Chain A
Amino acid sequence: NAGVMQNPRHLVRRRGQEARLRCSPVKGHSHVYWYRQLPEEGLKFMVYLQKENIIDESGMPKERFSAEFPKEGPSILRIQQVVRGDSAAYFCASSVGAGGQETQYFGPGTRLLVL
């Protein structure tokens, strides 16, 4: 019974390159969330998606960042033209539903380092 899978676990990019982070939710979960954790800080919400829909992207930077959760396949967080400030751990979580009491299950994270 696999939990949330994220890959790659570690990703190194040079400034100006693109980073693609993938997240496969728990089987049967149709709600996906992305969070960013900067060094020595808590997690910050970025975006909440359901299959083929972005529900809440209030935490996403206005430029260079995008997310999708297609009908088939994993959710993708895409960062274009990365800068050093994008270096962080990016966590994906999934849940069965979106009610206030639903537990979000987290993946192991992708640690992005921008050189």
Chain B
Amino acid sequence: AQSVTQLDSHVSVSEGTPVLLRCNYSSSYSPSLFWYVQHPNKGLQLLLKYTSAATLVKGINGFEAEFKKSETSFHLTKPSAHMSDAAEYFCVVSDLNAGNNRKLIWGLGTSLAVNP
């Protein structure tokens, strides 16, 4: 079975400092991994995804994530936080169950606060 663990439920950074949101996964297959962002009372937006190509994945708004198979990690980073980055971030792994039907397995989320 596949699962996702987001290691921090809350992260607080100062504007202009680096962001690190940690995610570990377990998977019996070659996983596809995603990071989604959810702003308050808004829908979900895809930040980036890993699908077995380059291990360093660049996404929107300056975010990137590195797939490390040996560590089963897919941490999200950004060099310099902006106030508008304050949101809930979800690490997600795809589940290729029998029949190649795909559903997403979601972490519990990390709430990012950005202080002026």
B44–A91 touching, CB < 8 Å: yes
Interface members, chain A 35-89 (any B CB < 8 Å): 35, 41-45, 48, 55-56, 58-59
Within 8 A of A (CB), among B81-116: 90, 94, 96-97, 99-109
A99 pairs with B101, CB closer than 8 A = no
Count how many chain B residues have C-beta atoms less than 8 Å from C-beta atoms of the other chain.
29
Q: How far is the CB of B38 from chain A (nearest CB, A)?
A: 9
Number of A-B contacts (CB under 8 A): 67
Assess whether B77 is interfacial by the CB under 8 Å rule. Answer: no
Is B101 in contact with A100, judged by CB distance below 8 angstroms? no
CB distance from A63 to the nearest CB of B (A): 21
* CA of A55 to CA of B103, assembled, Å: 11
Are A107 and B106 closer than 8 Å at their CB atoms? no
Separation in Å of the B59 CB from the closest CB of chain A? 12
Residues of the B chain whose Cβ atoms lie less than 8 Å from the Cβ of A42? 90, 106-109
Bound-state CA distance A42–B109 (Å) is: 6
Q: Is B7 engaged at the interface, CB distance under 8 Å to the other chain?
A: no
**Contact pick for A106, options B41, B43, B52, B102, CB 8 Å:** B43
Give residues in A with beta carbon < 8 Å to B. 33, 35, 41-45, 48, 55-56, 58-59, 91, 93, 98-109, 111
Inter-chain pairs besides A35-B106, A106-B36, 14 sampled, C-beta below 8 Å: A41-B108, A43-B90, A43-B106, A44-B106, A48-B103, A56-B101, A58-B103, A91-B43, A98-B100, A98-B102, A99-B100, A101-B51, A105-B46, A106-B44
